[in-house]
Structure 1
Amino acid sequence: MDLNALRVFERVAATGSFTAAARHFHRAVSSISRQIAALEASLGQQLLYRHTRAVTLTEAGERYYQDVREILKQLDLATEAVQAPGGEPSGLLRINAPVAFGQRQIVPILSAFQRRYPSVKAELLLTDRLTDPVREGIDITFRVGELADTTLVARRLAPMNYVVAASPEYLAQRGTPPTPEALDHHDCLLYQGEMGRQRWYFHAPQAREPLVCKVDGSLYSNDAESLVRAATLGQGLVMFPTWLIADELASKALIPVLETWRGEVAPTRRDIHVLYAQRHADTRKIRAFLDHLFQTLWPTPAWDRWRERRVAS
């Protein structure tokens, strides 16, 4: 039996797509199709139904997929144990994260992890598009904001703590808004993503319902880093989570305002989660990365300690 064929079959079955499997293995779709056909011929069983837009498992294919998936998991664990008998994590770790969060937070966390475990290679896929970790073959997925229903294990990393801020030059020229309502008279730089242009919500102490502010300004962008840069240049106010602007707050390139109000970009509080498949959680590389991740962020993420850094400077 061709082990590579089993791995290809597992990817096609998991993703429901020859194209996704081809992308995962960096091969042509025709090559994947031929290998699956050869596997079916050797078994004397049809494993997949080919449709125009998708691929589904036959009854025999479903049984075979469940067995093959477990066999491959045990094989990977056995291979890992032989290659690193001392327990050292190794292999390729595929990570997906939103662009700004990945650049600002995951890159330094991953860099420290790989210095600690040099046998682990990483593939970091940054996109603001909502991806399917199973279809894409991702080991670790970071989600910022609302968490959709998923069959993966989802562990909460940290809350999203938003801060409204502007440069000292902007505040000297335009003044500091005393209340959220005063933002009507200010230049608010807004993130505009797949869900449309952001709205700003403010929760007063003891208040049950948020105050919704229809803010506007001179710049909209689907790139958060560009808006942060524009704010540091004195163009206007931004509302972003601390994981994005902690460095600017600590260095006083941006000054927080409206600190007695809790800001949000949705009616309810949003969190940061890490997602992974339960069946992969036993592999050393994933277990080690998750341990490193939570050790790094516990008890308070570095990005929420910007006030301490500000005082120290």
Structure 2
Amino acid sequence: MDLLALADFNLVARHGGVGRAARAAGRPKATLSRRVAELEASLGLRLFERGGRTLKLTQEGRALHERTAALLTELDETAVEIASGGSTPRGLLRISAPLLFSQMAMGRLAAGFAMKFPDVRLEATTEDRAVDMVEEGYDLVIRVNPDPDETLVGRAFLRDRLVVVASADLARPGDGSAVPAIARGTASGRQVWKVANAGETSDILIDPVLGLSSMIMVRDAVRAGVGAARLPVSLISHDVAAGSLVHWGDVDGPEIALWALYPSRRLLSARVSAFLDHLKTAFPTGEPHELAAFVRAQG
């Protein structure tokens, strides 16, 4: 198989069209079109559906792109490393991270990484959805409690848990009456929160009065005394220690685990390995208090 034709095919697939690929690479459209046509002829397969101004990968084209794009990247990186005489992290590193972690820590993490590795151009985006790493061109994703995925490998680098907290001015009723609460998402009807204290489980009847889309907004509303809420320990531990918020109990449920994931089909690049080490340095044990301290240190 012609590697140059394969590289041009992946260039066109990544940009979604010959024209866009030609502009991005500064290459003639005719050359790219010819290379793709030659690859299709050599394989005896149609790799693109051609219609209008866009190209759409066929099933065979998608499979070829998914299986070869990472391998070609590795070849390029290996050539660069050999030419430079080492495995110094360099090039573009694209990361997707969830909203709350991005708001709390990603800015400072990215800044520290950029200063440590000036030859890496880091691009971090905020996505709570599970992005498609291959299709969207990410090198590493950070996900909360990810579903098992045989195409990805990685490690949990932070663990957290949800607790119920409220302003010190809001008393927890002892007669089973409903407590005003702030919900993450939709403020639907009354419901019961199960909490654990000293190994014993109890119920809190809550009446949602606010529905907010981010944990930061929920925390700020709790601080204002609007109601109780379920929040991660890392986000409120300082407020609890200072006495401005009161801990009513741990939420009865699974812990929160943040994972750093990358495709298992490609060798671990120097820049991804460097960012994983960067996370390990920032959070050596992965306990909630480390994230809380990290955020607190930002002032």
TM interval, shorter chain, is 0.7 to 0.9
Measure the CA separation in 1 of the matches of 2:96 and 2:49.
29
8 Å Cα contact 1:228/1:245 also seen in 2: yes
More strand by percentage? 2
Within the alignment, does 1:269 sit opposite 2:262 as a pair? no
8 Å Cα contact 2:7/2:72 also seen in 1: no
After superposition, residues 72-83 of structure 1 pair within 5 angstroms as: 72-83=73-84
CA offset at residue 240 of structure 1? 1.0
Q: Select 1:192's aligned residue among 180, 185, 194.
A: 185
Measure the CA separation in 1 of the matches of 2:286 and 2:276.
16
CA offset at residue 26 of structure 1? 11
Residue 108 of structure 1 aligns to a residue whose secondary structure is helix
After superposition, residues 244-263 of structure 1 pair within 5 angstroms as: 244-249=235-240, 251-252=242-243, 254-258=244-248, 261-263=249-251
Q: CA RMSD in A?
A: 4.1
Counterpart of 1:232 in structure 2 is: 223
8 Å Cα contact 2:180/2:227 also seen in 1: yes
**Post-superposition CA distance 1:244-296 (Å, at most 9, x none):** 334544555x42322xx4315xx433322111113445311001111111222
Measure the CA separation in 2 of the matches of 1:115 and 1:248.
31
Residue 106 of structure 2 aligns to a residue whose secondary structure is helix
AA aligned opposite 2:262: Y
Check 1:161–1:114 CA distance in 2 against 1; reply closer, same or farther (3 A cut). same
8 Å Cα contact 2:157/2:286 also seen in 1: no
Question: Percent identity of the aligned residues?
Answer: 24
TM-score w.r.t. the length of structure 2 is: 0.74
CA offset at residue 233 of structure 1? 1.6
Counterpart of 2:93 in structure 1 is: 93
Measure the CA separation in 2 of the matches of 1:26 and 1:216.
58
Measure the CA separation in 2 of the matches of 1:105 and 1:296.
10
Check 1:200–1:101 CA distance in 2 against 1; reply closer, same or farther (3 A cut). farther
After superposition, residues 292-311 of structure 1 pair within 5 angstroms as: 292-301=278-287, 303-304=289-290
Number of residue equivalences: 281
Residue 122 of structure 1 aligns to a residue whose secondary structure is strand
AA aligned opposite 1:91: G
Measure the CA separation in 2 of the matches of 1:157 and 1:9.
36
Measure the CA separation in 2 of the matches of 1:86 and 1:298.
27
Within the alignment, does 1:215 sit opposite 2:206 as a pair? yes
Within the alignment, does 1:58 sit opposite 2:44 as a pair? no
AA aligned opposite 1:58: E
AA aligned opposite 1:263: V
Measure the CA separation in 2 of the matches of 1:123 and 1:277.
18
Counterpart of 2:130 in structure 1 is: 130
AA aligned opposite 2:257: D
**Post-superposition CA distance 1:171-201 (Å, at most 9, x none):** 33x32457xx85x5322111017xxx99744
Unaligned 5+ segments in structure 2 are none
Residue 188 of structure 1 aligns to a residue whose secondary structure is strand
Counterpart of 2:232 in structure 1 is: 241
